[in-house]
Amino acid sequence: EELDHCLATFDAMLSLTRIEEGQQDLELQPLSLNALCQDLYEMAEAMAESNGQTLTLSLDEDHSVMGDKYLLFQALFNLVDNAIKYSGEGAKIEIAQQGNLISIRDNGPGIPDDATERVFDRLVRLDPSRHNKGTGLGLAMSQVIVQEHGGRLDVHSDLGRGTEFVVGVPKGAGVGGQC
């Protein structure tokens, strides 16, 4: 089990480095953000339900971007997976799309102000006593993927009230567009 964890960490580090160094080409295609969010919701709904959580989906008018469907889905799934793992039983988690912005928000315990700057650092796990296994690379990976698409990933958290991650993907994502 420990060897599997080490191998998963190594594989994630390798993937992260490849993306950062431009060694992994983006497979750009037109993407519907509505469809991407719908897929994300369908994939995560059962996980949230098994944790006694409520997952909701709020979609605005569809927005189309050029992006790598697999990588953008991975970035967004990391955010939803973290919300499910760390927001606690009974939490409410929302996936919301408005224009070119996708937000993942929860009403969990939140992140201390002094830690929000570190959440995107490699190998950072803010609460080492957590029972959930992870590599400490998910948020770093999400940030790199979003940046490779010319976008932004921001975090807003209110201790004791919840956390929101906001992904902004420009219309010409992956081709030098800016949010």
Query: What are the pLDDT digits (tens) for 28-81?
Result: 899 999 999 999 999 999 999 999 999 999 999 999 999 989 889 999 999 999
Question: What confidence score (pLDDT) does residue 178 get?
Answer: 43
DSSP string, 18-68: HHHTT-S---EEEEEHHHHHHHHHHHHHHHHHHTT-EEEEEE-S--EEEEE
**Angstrom distance (rounded) from CA 139 to CA 82:** 9
The pLDDT, as a whole number, for residue 18 is: 63
- Beta pairing class for 162-168 and 101-106: antiparallel
Report the predicted TM-score, pTM, of the whole model to 2 decimal places: 0.81
The pLDDT of residue 43: 94
The mean pLDDT of 135-142, rounded to a whole number, is 76
How many angstroms separate the CA atoms of 73 and 178, rounded?
19
Average pLDDT on 114-142 reads: 65
Residues contacting residue 91 through CB under 8 Å, at least 6 positions apart? 51, 53, 54, 83, 106, 107, 108
What is each CA distance from 51 to 10, 81, 92, in whole angstroms? Answer: 29, 12, 11
pLDDT, average across residues 12-41: 78
